């Protein structure tokens, strides 16, 4: 079972995860787009909302 990532430190930012690890984060996605290449599998790109939102 994989541990959940705590995204509370990334509120309002784009986050790139690879597996269960954050590999890059920034407020501007264009700043970290090259970091996508660091992931050897398919990365997940997420924008962490500024307000609490329940996602199912």
Q: What is the pLDDT of residue 28?
A: 94
Judge whether residue 52 has pLDDT over 80: no
Task: Report how far residue 41's alpha carbon sits from residue 31's, in angstroms, rounded to the nearest whole number.
Answer: 21
Count of structural domains within the chain? 1
Query: Which residue has better confidence, 14 or 3?
Result: 14
Angle, CA 45 vertex, CA 11 and CA 15 arms, to 5°: 30
Domain membership of residue 19 as a residue range: 13-47
Domain membership of residue 4 (yes or no) is no
Q: What is the pLDDT of residue 1?
A: 56
Q: List the strands of the sheet with 44-47, edge to edge.
A: 21-26, 14-18, 44-47
How many C-beta neighbours within 10 Å does residue 26 have? 15
Judge whether residue 53 has pLDDT over 90: no
Domain membership of residue 1 (yes or no) is no
Judge whether residue 51 has pLDDT over 80: no
Domain membership of residue 33 (yes or no) is yes
Domain membership of residue 41 (yes or no) is yes
Q: What is the pLDDT of residues 6-48, one digit of tens each?
A: 998 999 999 999 988 999 999 999 999 899 888 999 999 999 9
Q: Is 41 left (phi over 0), alpha (psi -120 to 50) or beta?
A: beta
């Amino acid at each position: 079972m994989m541990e959940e990532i705590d995204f509370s430190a990334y509120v309002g930012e784009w986050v790139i995860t690879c597996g269960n690890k954050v590999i890059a984060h920034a407020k501007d996605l264009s700043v970290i787009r090259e970091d996508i290449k660091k992931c050897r599998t398919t990365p997940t790109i997420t924008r962490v909302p500024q307000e609490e939102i329940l996602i199912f």
